[in-house]
Amino acid sequence: MKKKTFLIIFLILIVAVSIFFYLGGKRGVFLSWDLKNVPDTIMNEICLKISHPDNIYYCLAAVNKDASYCQNSHMAAERKLCQAMAERDVSYCRKIKEAEPKKVCDYEVSFLTDEFDYCEEAENPNMCYFAFLYRLHWESRADEIKANYCEKFDENTPDGQVLKNCCLAFKDQNPSLCQGNKYCQSFFKQPLSFCNIKFESPGSGPVSEDECLLHRALSEKDSSMCLNIESEEGRDGCYADMSTHISPNLSFCNKIVNSMVKDMCYTEVAIYFSEH
């Protein structure tokens, strides 16, 4: 399945994309909200580019911090996720029982609210912490990584030490702190030939060439390098991550083929503008 492929390939992208497969995957949903009454703002204009109705409401709720849009969500977990994003309130995440939307909620709201410690409540705290740090690293916000963040990783787990070293390397922007681990080194500038090396991703098995090439594009901040990725799915993910982490640019979203990934990209850009 595509969702599982994304989970293996792009840690952060799957979190955002999962929202849209979860919210917008139900075909035949009609717009029940009078969109003519939506305020005329740049963020809302971006939200209205979205193709799937439920995703439009999710985007509008998140960027306007208005949970009333969430009333169009027909499932309890979906509605709580929407409310959590609209109100920047992690308490809604605690009420979600379904595994996938709860994980999405944990990852997204903890980052949006800058509540790193909230990851303690996630099913897999190590990966939630890493998702948080991954974004700070690519968004050139390493100065926001506190020393105690790296101490949060459970070194008694198989992947805990690798992720802790990644955290230390991100914090100091120093790949030598990766202790020679190729997965960690992949988040820093490397030649394209680096992707000929086989190495493992914590908890996900071998790192695909697509993921490695994505990291080359992000580390160089060069969207043209997304064209080095052979698969359409991988290129979509590259353009989405360029927009989400490097530059909130609608032109990247417009290059995306998959409608769900494109919807996610529009929403991430709209949220960025709502926060800046």
pLDDT at residue 38 in the model: 85
Residues paired with 205 in a beta bridge = 201
| Number of residues that make up the chain | 276
Give, for 200, the enclosing helix (H) or strand (E): strand 200-201
Query: Beta partners for 201?
Result: 205
HSE, CB side, 13 Å, CA atoms: give it for residue 219: 19
Contact 120, 126 (CB under 8 A): no
- When pLDDT is cut at 50, 70 and 90, the band that residue 275 belongs to is confident
The mean pLDDT value of the chain amounts to 86
**Nearest 5 degrees, angle CA 147-CA 191-CA 180?**
45
Position 20 scores a pLDDT of 56
Dihedral of alpha carbons 159, 218, 149, 172, sign = positive
Give the residue extent of every domain in the chain.
7-26+37-275
Q: What is the pLDDT of residues 154-190, one digit of tens each?
A: 888 778 899 999 999 999 999 999 999 999 999 999 9
Task: State phi, psi for 179 to the nearest 5 degrees.
Answer: 55, 35
55 touches 20 (CB < 8 A): yes
How would you label 185-220 residue by residue, b for 16+ Cβ within 10 Å and e otherwise?
bbbbebeeebbeeeeebbbbeebbbbbbbbbbbbbe
Neighbours of 42 (CB within 10 A): 12
Q: Across-strand partners of 206?
A: 200
Query: From CA 202, how far away is CA 243, in angstroms rounded?
Result: 25
> Which amino acid, 109?
V
pLDDT of residue 138: 95
Q: How far is CA 203 from CA 62, 116, 183, 184, 186, in A?
A: 31, 21, 12, 14, 16
pLDDT at 27 over 50: no
Q: For residues 238 and 217, is the Cβ–Cβ distance under 8 A?
A: yes
- Euclidean distance between CA atoms 34 and 143, whole angstroms: 43
Tokens 């086989």 — which residue? Answer: 198
Has residue 146 got a pLDDT over 70?
yes
pTM equals 0.85
CB 47 within 8 A of CB 266: yes
42: three-class secondary structure by DSSP = helix
Measured between alpha carbons, how far is 240 from 31 in angstroms, rounded to an integer?
26
CB 53 within 8 A of CB 73: no
DSSP count for the chain of H helices, then E strands: 14, 2
The pLDDT confidence band at residue 17, using thresholds 50, 70 and 90, is low
Mean predicted confidence (pLDDT) in 29-35: 53
